Amino acid sequence: MPRSPQPTRRHFLAASASAAITAKAAPSDKVTVGIIGSGGRAVFETKQYPSFDNTVIVAIADAQESRRTGAKQALEKQYADQGRPNSGIRLYSDFRELLAQKDIDAVYIATPDHWHVSMTMAALKAGKHVHCEKPLGVSVEQDLAALKAVRASNKVYQYGAERRSTAEARKGIELIVNGRIGKVQKIYVIAPPSLTGGSPTPVTEPPKGFDYDMWLGPAPKKPFCADRCLEGSGRNGIFVIYDYSLGNLANWAAHPMDQVQWWADNSGRKESPIRYEGAGAVPTEGLFDAVLWWDVKCTYQDGLELRMVDSDTYKKYTDAPHPQMPFGRPGVTAVHNGAVFMGSEGWAIVSYEKVVFSDPKVMDSVIGPNEIHLQDTALATIPKGMPTGHQPVATAGHHQNWIRAIRGEGKTVGNIESAVRSDLVSQFCDLCIRTGKPILWDPKKETIVGNDAARKLMKRPMRAPWGVA
């Protein structure tokens, strides 16, 4: 086994900050949180809040009345069940009214992807700390604007890739960073293919209580139809319509790509890959037009290859591992969402639900005090009454890391620099497929060279008054 890299001062400080989360005496005041976007994911993640006494949800904003009132009922019931009555959660149809409230310290943004950056920037301008769901933006311009805005603020930002707050994923990446599979020689990032179909008809009026114009926000004005954005239609297109998302190339791929970036950040590899070439398919029929399948070779400055593939395409690669085993979801026995690290002395799969090494004994390996340790934000204990299961525990740890960082108890594990580096990979893969030509990224000038069509697509038109200015 190769000698493990020695920890740097940066790694020591990161570990010290993590330890401070549990060692520092907590202040008595609660961090007040507003939720922006109250669909199923928002309620799922924030139902853990009533289990902790360092924070409280005070407001919800959503363009759809039924969602915000449903979220209020679900969360107030959870508070009551936990013996912490909180019947005063305020409701807003316009998120800007929520941001104007002086008693709100921080916001959790759980909207469709096309709103993430505009809302993040508005929240920072309003003086709020931000936890924003992944992926980051829907254009290169948006990603870079978010980076600039967070850096210019003095607020705490958390990127919502909650796998960083699970003990198993953290240890898996730590072991790879510390050389347990030798030198990493190739990486696969795998996500399920996007969906096809969806119908733009019939065009109808939005349901009562649904401010459709506010829901669209910076996205192009399009006629309302159920398959576009109506939960319960059976074909909700918010994650597979290009106006609102890059599809699973970003939405699902954000999780394994973030794990790769966590490894990269701690392996001296700060920049994203710079060259992209490959293929994919953009649907030509139906409402859903995000990239359907993809196979893009992404090359780092030093020649390391990262291959972004959908889970069906991944099966064709015979040089990669294809273990048949339960991966955490019912009926899933093959890698469907994960990062595969191919090393000189073995391989590792860091999937959403499970970490697997070519040598099962590696996972039991002890990471020594002189090796590199990543920030530990997993819950040490699960409070009584908190929803349990893999995802609830992971999301609770991730949100608590953010709340504690706001209270001065350490730093967030999902910083904006890492979020942008990982999200740019999806952006460039998408542009490579859509233009049918390779992408060459100049990280110093922050522009694409040699592909004028892709360079022009770095920006998307955004409806006023949103934008990224």
Residue 113 in domain: yes
Q: Given a cut of 70, is residue 381 above it in pLDDT?
A: yes
Q: Which of 4-18, 37-51, 229-243 has the highest mean pLDDT?
A: 37-51
Range of the domain at 109: 9-163+411-416
Residue whose pair of structure tokens reads 């392996």 in the numeric block:
267
Residue 18 in domain: yes
pLDDT value at residue 270: 85
Residue 80 in domain: yes
Residue 248 in domain: no
pLDDT bin (cut points 50, 70, 90) of residue 17 is very low
Residue 400 in domain: no
Residue 392 in domain: no
217 vs 125, 289, 432, CA distance in Å?
Answer: 18, 19, 27
Residue 377 in domain: no
Residue 76 in domain: yes
As a whole number of angstroms, the distance between CA 93 and CA 62 comes to: 5
Q: Looking at the 3D structure of the chain, how many domains does it have?
A: 1
pTM over 0.85: yes
Beta strands in 235-370 (DSSP E): 275-281, 293-299, 305-310, 338-343, 346-351, 355-357
What's the CATH code of the domain at 122?
A: 3.40.50.720
Q: State the average pLDDT over residues 6-22.
A: 38
Chain centroid to Cα 404, Å, comes to 19
Share of the chain above pLDDT 90, in %: 87
295's tokens: 């196979």
pLDDT bin (cut points 50, 70, 90) of residue 235 is low
